[in-house]
Amino acid sequence: MSDAAASTRTALITGTSTGIGRATAETLLSQGHTVYATMRDPEGRNARAASELESFARAQPGTVRVADLDVTSQASADAAVQRVIDEAGRLDAVVHNAGHLFVGYTEAFTEDDLTHLLDVNAVGAHRVNRAALPHLRAQRFGTLLYVGSTILVTTPPFLGPYVASKAAFDALAVVTSYEVSQFGIETSIVMPGAITQGTNHFPGASHASDTAVTTQYADLDALVARTDEAHDGLFDPEHPADPQSVADEVARILALPAGRKPFRSVVDAAQAGVDHVMAFSDLTREAFVRRLGFGETLELKR
């Protein structure tokens, strides 16, 4: 691997209009990276977010290119990645951050509701990988960094489809890592805890389509209404969960030399103990993979 490949210089980030994605784009720009900050409809619904990012970048050593990317469209993912290759000539890292939140009673989410959320939160990352991996494999280096969630361990009530989608997202990241490692491509999964401030995650959440079923759960409405408050209550008021803490960890990982990036990192102001659970889980998984005789897929081939 060349010296140029040893540190991340060009990154594509999904979901940069708000929250963690926006903070990550700004952090990488402040460190001198070329950032392709992607979002849906940057000339329309997200025009203000795009303009703010471009204004921020003018005072930074890095360069921003705001790009349209809808993770529910393979053609959109392909076009965004091709733009990076055409303009920058290389792609060092893909940061999978785009996602959406559903809040409500699991039964009341229709088949279409659940399918849509899985499409956005899990299949969307797969589409972006399918666009990016041919280029990363050809250059034989790069990083896939997934912004996951501690929720696949903590599994709180009233977030059923979201929990399922983030579990699928994590599983796809893990199984993809075995294959791409053999082409010099590293994987890191950053797992934030709940973040209720500085992001549109909870305020912008969607709700179940089947209102008739929702009505039948009316006795629990007071509990659902407390979802935001309950998550806020997890944190010390003097040390609230902040998207910037996740962005800082993403930037730290991307700055590490090839072969030194952690496979998993937990950033959780709620201190739910997920780091201990995942450390044991990954050790168990890795031991099983080695027993199968596939141990080389756990090592980065350079």
Q: Exactly one of 36, 146, 162, 178 is catalytic; name it.
A: 162
CB 91 within 8 A of CB 4: no
Radius of gyration, CA atoms only, the chain: 19
CB 124 within 8 A of CB 132: no
**Residue keyed to tokens 């199968």:** 292
User: Has 162 been annotated as catalytic?
Assistant: yes
Copy the structure tokens of residue 289: 């993979």
CB 111 within 8 A of CB 153: no
Strand, helix or coil for residue 38: strand
CB 37 within 8 A of CB 66: yes
Q: What is the largest CA-CA distance in the chain?
A: 62
User: Side chain identity at 226, as an amino acid letter?
Assistant: R
The residues that are catalytic are 162
